[in-house]
Amino acid sequence: MCRLFIEGDPSLWEQHTRSLRLHGLSTSLRLETFFWNILAEIAERDALTLSQLVAKLYDELLEARGETGNFASFLRVCCGRYLTLQVRGEVPAGPLIPIRNLDASRILLRERAQNCAHQAPSQSEGAQETVSPKAA
């Protein structure tokens, strides 16, 4: 099973630091090549540079949450969500339709409904989870 991942292109998990300016301040972000590639694809869809996309995500996150927390982790999750939304058909795979033209409210509503429908029952509702070690 793991061969599919282990024998993949090792350059994708190499980390690279990029220097950016956010509101006139120089900062640097360290992400794996895989994530920089996805962010570049997202930026290209909306006719933004990579720096413009990162600044936009930073600003909107700060406005929505009041803080940015671990921003590098946030960017990784954005990439994962982008790919997941493509698999689910919520974001077209081709780059012709900009992300800004998608109906985010409807996509989020469908996603929340789907997540509620797939949530496992809690332990208090009788679900049990057991982990057993492999026999030697």
pLDDT along the chain (136 residues), means of 10: 84 89 87 96 95 94 91 96 94 90 94 82 52 50
**Is residue 3 included in any domain, yes or no?**
no
**Is residue 76 included in any domain, yes or no?**
yes
**Is residue 117 included in any domain, yes or no?**
no
**Is residue 122 included in any domain, yes or no?**
no
pLDDT value at position 82?
A: 96
Instruction: Please report, for residues 1, 5, 9, 90, 95, the alpha-carbon distance to residue 86 in angstroms, rounded to integers and kept in the order given.
Output: 24, 20, 22, 6, 11
Scanning the structure block, which residue is given the tokens 């990439």?
Answer: 79
- Per the structure, the complete domain to which residue 65 belongs is given by 11-94
- Give the separation between CA 119 and CA 98, rounded to whole angstroms: 31
pTM for this predicted structure: 0.79
pLDDT value at position 4?
A: 84
Instruction: Tell me the CATH number at 38.
Output: 1.10.3990.20
pLDDT value at position 128?
A: 52
**Is residue 84 included in any domain, yes or no?**
yes
E strand segments, 23-135: 25-32
Q: How many domains does the chain have?
A: 1
- Give the separation between CA 35 and CA 16, rounded to whole angstroms: 10
**Is residue 62 included in any domain, yes or no?**
yes
**What's 135's DSSP letter?**
P
**Is residue 133 included in any domain, yes or no?**
no
